[in-house]
Structure 1
């Protein structure tokens, strides 16, 4: 199978997956299913891209390694969001705000918004592809470093999610801002570790000897993820919601704790000049 045809199939598959996500979200009224389907889709098609074989080349251990990393990441994240969505409670405030802003056009605009997410997912899959097809025949120290980095990323995100869930489950914390554990070092530690995981593919992909220049394409993953999380669909709409719902309490939290990069609270306050 040619690489161009394979990538075309992956692009169409991601587009169809997000069309299904749109239908599920509209029918169920739960926007959380969008992120569930997106997470599973990136992992599935990322693994497929990692395992692509062209010109009857032998499958390399690195391809299986990268496919496993992609699937492990997506299954952990996807099932976490699925459990949270299935349990009910408040819908994702980001989509709720879009629904208010778009009004009667919400369904139509949401469909195309999710197609943009499919395009972003395709770019992330390219990062996975670049890492998997580094032609070095044996696993190198970079590969093991990538494994360690992914384990830290997935583990850190899982801990952050668990700490937030435990905080919200305590009735005494109702209407309070979570600053426990990792949330006292970053206002969005789950986003930080999510971004960190995409660096693992860069570590695996890049070959400084120049033999595999396509490895540098893996940088697109963390660059895109940072831009989305920090400047577009992650921190900005979520913090706008927190300011509306928590007001002065969240403002104080902002002065003490970094938005993205983990750091000691005093350092955060100093860096922001407050």
Structure 2
């Protein structure tokens, strides 16, 4: 069954790659990544009948809404951008005449990442019904609270930043209002928080391996794909303005800013 999801993700990314080969804007890969996870989880919740119904419904609704919102936000940002995202423009220049094949390999790699980050939900949906304890509903309530807080935080942070960037008067300025007053990357923080919901649900079935995912997501956001690039680009474009923001604002966990 899992192999079918792999082929589905490959198909999604191949379609995205063909479109990007035409319009030269590779940022679409982020949209398809989020949409692919949502599609994987929703389809698996409908197909797999192994886990209890309440677990299947919870994951289909909570995770489905989470990743569909993220996909919509990324699509909105992608549609309003007039130039290719700096990350992918740099990749395109680095690959030169091999960019067509280079992006093909990159998009297929992203199909693998869809599988990687869909795994917690698919694993929970594949746990036999008899393995779930009587306290499953309690763990689902705790997970729901985490998901709601994370959803509120990331949605608000994304919307605040989007509105800030839409105002021409804010060009070359740093967003330091709302949630961005307390963290330089509140969207990443709440994204990370959301990943605690799945290992907590896993506790109801005696599964502990899913705790690797909050750790994995923290490493990705803090050291690989998220914060390092964002900070580098901010310093290049906003210089001393952003350095001042760095001095007084927490990098990740929301905290009272320094005077």
What TM-score does the superposition give when structure 1 sets the normalisation length?
0.84
Q: 1:220 aligns with which of 190, 212, 230?
A: 212
- Residue aligning to 2:43: 48
- Aligned equivalents of 2:64 and 2:107: distance in 1? 21
2:224 is the counterpart of 1:232: yes
Post-superposition CA distance 1:214-243 (Å, at most 9, x none): x22322332322222221121222222222
Q: 1:68 aligns with which of 36, 61, 68?
A: 61
- Residue aligning to 2:180: 183
- Aligned equivalents of 2:9 and 2:237: distance in 1? 34
Q: What secondary structure is seen at the aligned counterpart in 1 of 2:82?
A: coil
The 3 A distance-change label for structure 1 pair 108 and 172 is same
- Aligned equivalents of 2:48 and 2:163: distance in 1? 44
- Aligned equivalents of 1:106 and 1:252: distance in 2? 37
- Residue aligning to 1:32: 27
- Aligned equivalents of 1:100 and 1:255: distance in 2? 33
Q: Which sections of structure 2, spanning at least 5 residues, go unmatched? A: none
- Aligned equivalents of 1:29 and 1:45: distance in 2? 27
Post-superposition CA distance 1:14-73 (Å, at most 9, x none): 12222222222222222332111111101111222344436xx57522111111112101
Alignment of 1:17-166 (within 5 A): 17-53=12-48, 57=50, 60-133=53-126, 135=129, 136=132, 139-166=136-163
Q: 2:236 aligns with which of 244, 251, 254?
A: 244
- Aligned equivalents of 1:75 and 1:102: distance in 2? 31
- Residue aligning to 2:5: 10
- Residue aligning to 1:3: none
The 3 A distance-change label for structure 1 pair 76 and 147 is same
Alignment of 1:196-211 (within 5 A): 196-207=193-204
Further displaced range: 70-79 or 89-98: 89-98
Post-superposition CA distance 1:81-132 (Å, at most 9, x none): 1122222334322212222332222232222122222222212111112334
Residues 49 and 125 of structure 1 are in contact (CA less than 8 Å); yes or no, is this contact kept in structure 2? Answer: no
- Aligned equivalents of 2:133 and 2:5: distance in 1? 26
The 3 A distance-change label for structure 1 pair 249 and 58 is closer
The 3 A distance-change label for structure 1 pair 67 and 115 is same
Aligned Cα root-mean-square deviation (Å): 2.2
Q: Which sections of structure 1, spanning at least 5 residues, go unmatched? A: 1-5, 270-274
How many residue pairs get aligned? The number is: 255
What TM-score does the superposition give when structure 2 sets the normalisation length?
0.89
Residues 93 and 238 of structure 1 are in contact (CA less than 8 Å); yes or no, is this contact kept in structure 2? Answer: no
Deviation at 1:74, TM superposition (A): 1.4
